[in-house]
Structure 1
């Protein structure tokens, strides 16, 4: 007789009863850093991403998937299944938290729970979670500090042991090194642990600033963006409508909205080509247009290279005959970034853009284009900051091919989804301490059909930017600003504020946001 959980999974995914005897699925989570909603070809972009596009074409794409608007909260959510504020990994109004916050003892990471089902777990790339990697349940790790230089291995630790960067790092590039280690873990697994399922977490730094890319990769895009960010937004939105993703309107550019943090000294270092505001492209000087187009070319090159390296990881899955029974999930930790700064090794204006001696950031003009069709950027909780591409591909378990999934979903849902597929019942306590109920729900039903996953709300708070979504209505506010209300069915671009016309609905959602904030505060204390 089928166990209840296994039987449910078989029914929901439309598998034949014989599939119950198949091995538990492997899980490969691939996370990009500062990737825009529309950067991938399968989400409307012009960047060459054929490997990720193929996963989408042979799996499902979610159109309303959300992250937390920032790197470290998103990673905490993906690995714990809790909102980051619940586990001290982002601030609440009266409770400290953030990049240096330490999780409670009960806030275990996913690998701890997967061990009960015989899984081995591997991590490669950015960590940005508190504590050591292996202490979080992973069996192997190569963690890389947030790179001030994609051409240096400085800050790398292998299995939590710091590594000394070699004197000569010619040939090193962070994105390639990330794939190298991921492939090595898979080869080791095939050779020594073939009878066990695995969870592999590959966290690329690309395309986070500094914009560093290989010369040949940059050359493929060097003149691609000379028509500017306005033309790019329009082209991407037109493609999104063809793909069935862009069904609403295109957000208007907020011409007076620049980076979320001000570093005026950076503009002097970067020179007259920098543009801190997304002005109409024709209003820029020729020098500014060339400089901005070059930055976007480097961003595209970083995404292109990431896709190529993902291809190597997928090839290894095929070589070890694990491809069909591996759930591959791809997402971004937040929207594209409008930040402009110079740090770490600084910026040499004479250096080739994208080289190790340069330090460039994408900035608000092209960041807005990368987040097409939405409004705003990383750190804000308007749709541009929190909307992520989300691809799920699993030949043995997802029958759909190239289908869209429109249900609102969030990183809080990743842990319960994986636990259900692995047949793991999450324990109610850890080391004698009760584990609170987690807010996420399993997405397994959405893998089978375009159904709406029932939930009470989705909630956001980051650096004073706040939002809540209940059904099709979203209440959102930038830090220090009044609430705005939008109907997500027709206005995900957040262009028509309904707060004045529907004050009772706005008040209802504000009460939900405050009630959950209070509840999260009680848990986090």
Structure 2
């Protein structure tokens, strides 16, 4: 592997005035939750996201970056560099694993590889990885376990110890609290550890349901979506075409596809304004249109507030004179969610929408619009479920401003990318156990130019939904359905199934999917997919 000195020399031939090799870059990875591909302005959205848009304008946007379609598998892939199924963090046929699965001892998280090289490691926000945070290599943590009420810290943990919430939480909002903690960590770092680089994992809950937002944020979007999801999709798609994000047509709405899980009692609680299918907007009643538009306004307010808080984080990096020498990544853990449910504290239909007493979910209509131009949603492995923005900002190491990177890439690529940038070689074993080869590739070459990083394949399996991408071909199937085949060069929207025209290609790719499944099962089977302590069942 090239040394940091050699790396900076090579890049410096192209881009002068880089930091010296002695200045190891800091790393900040910001992760949104349930945010759609087109929710950011720089990806065609209508929500005000000036801070993320500015990072994109001064850095790179990846157009074909993938997650795993679900929150906990994406976090496992991001932090380990393995497919979640390989490390017991998503289920495999006959082997179990999943949200309660426990990683193998060799499946270390990124901080364990950074700490020996002088890095301090911080975590602020959602965890959703097995085990506690500090033993996973972090020096400080806010573990935001309360994911059912954005207006209370009840149930959260600081450095793995339960929080005692303030008696008056009237000013508390989870998205703000994430960055309050991140800034506190960075201020302490500047005061006590300024000679060391840092890795900071900032994992927002927003805009995951329940749709909870500050009234003043909701007010800015209150009437922005009354024209409906059909118009919103068309407008976002037009902006995406202007931005040159991809060559495709806009996918058609699928009025027969609703939430991935059906909770009829929840629909009753939510009232006549709720609808669990993305029907043409004009077919909705006036009450349904108003209810749906209000939900989208709250979702937009949550994304807007997240961007505002990211602005505060950026300001802190500037105050430390560390923004130029910090690699900032931004992505989402899955596509926007079509789920509709009521849990945690329940839903009071008389309370102001978006307040703590309400429990609203975006649902499949506006979820489809947030995932423009793609099909399907979170949990599915069609493009709508697995496509995420990826912004990379690093003034000291990336000279390109506002450029697109078209290479297909995946969450499993983040660990090898960071290790490559830092010239860190992963150890061959951990506590005497060999560390198996990981599937990811370094994206570092794409920082300098728009080049394709060659993967043998990219692979998905989640709750029976399965897919594989080899080159520009993608084979995909929802649970229980036949394989569909798409040429993603011109059809990222997965509108033209070519399975009948290319049966041999289907056969070849299905065989490759099965080989990867078998290899994954073989690796996972070497250790039993132990389960973490079971959580109490949630009531509807």
TM-score normalized by the length of structure 2: 0.96
2:54 is the counterpart of 1:54: yes
Shift of residue 247 of structure 1? 2.1
Q: Which one is further off, 14-23 or 275-284?
A: 14-23
The C-alpha deviation readout for 1:333-392, integer Å capped at 9, x for no partner, is: 000000000000000000000001000000000000000000000000000000000000
**What CA distance in whole angstroms lies between the structure 1 residues aligned with 2:476 and 2:9?**
39
Residue pair 2:250, 2:373 contacting (<8 A) in 1 also: yes
Residues 42-441 of structure 1: pairs in structure 2 closer than 5 A: 42-441=42-441
Call closer, same or farther: CA 1:35–1:17 in 2, change over 3 Å. Answer: closer
SS at match of 1:123: strand
Residue pair 1:9, 1:420 contacting (<8 A) in 2 also: no
Shift of residue 127 of structure 1? 0.1
Shift of residue 166 of structure 1? 3.0
Residue pair 2:91, 2:463 contacting (<8 A) in 1 also: yes
Residue pair 2:342, 2:360 contacting (<8 A) in 1 also: yes
Call closer, same or farther: CA 1:18–1:382 in 2, change over 3 Å. Answer: closer
Match of 2:493 in 1: 493
Shift of residue 99 of structure 1? 0.9
Call closer, same or farther: CA 1:9–1:442 in 2, change over 3 Å. Answer: farther
Match of 1:476 in 2: 476
Q: Which one is further off, 377-386 or 147-156?
A: 147-156
Shift of residue 316 of structure 1? 0.2
Residue pair 2:2, 2:423 contacting (<8 A) in 1 also: no
Match of 2:536 in 1: none
Residue pair 2:8, 2:18 contacting (<8 A) in 1 also: no
Structure 1 unaligned blocks of 5 or more: none
Shift of residue 185 of structure 1? 0.5
Residue pair 1:12, 1:444 contacting (<8 A) in 2 also: no
Shift of residue 3 of structure 1? 5.8
Q: Which runs of 4+ in 1 moved over 2 A?
A: 2-6, 12-22, 164-168
**What CA distance in whole angstroms lies between the structure 2 residues aligned with 1:12 and 1:337?**
40
**What CA distance in whole angstroms lies between the structure 1 residues aligned with 2:400 and 2:160?**
39
Residue pair 2:19, 2:325 contacting (<8 A) in 1 also: no
Structure 2 unaligned blocks of 5 or more: 526-540
Shift of residue 115 of structure 1? 1.0
**What CA distance in whole angstroms lies between the structure 2 residues aligned with 1:186 and 1:163?**
20
Calculate the aligned-residue CA RMSD, in Å: 1.2
Aligned residues between the structures: 524
The C-alpha deviation readout for 1:304-346, integer Å capped at 9, x for no partner, is: 0000000000000000000000000000000000000000000
Residue pair 2:251, 2:374 contacting (<8 A) in 1 also: yes
**What CA distance in whole angstroms lies between the structure 2 residues aligned with 1:17 and 1:419?**
23
Shift of residue 420 of structure 1? 1.1
Q: Which one is further off, 92-101 or 278-287?
A: 92-101
SS at match of 1:21: coil
SS at match of 1:467: strand
The C-alpha deviation readout for 1:95-121, integer Å capped at 9, x for no partner, is: 111111000000000000001211010
Residue pair 1:10, 1:16 contacting (<8 A) in 2 also: no
Match of 2:530 in 1: none
The C-alpha deviation readout for 1:165-196, integer Å capped at 9, x for no partner, is: 23321110000000100000110100000000
**What CA distance in whole angstroms lies between the structure 2 residues aligned with 1:69 and 1:202?**
19
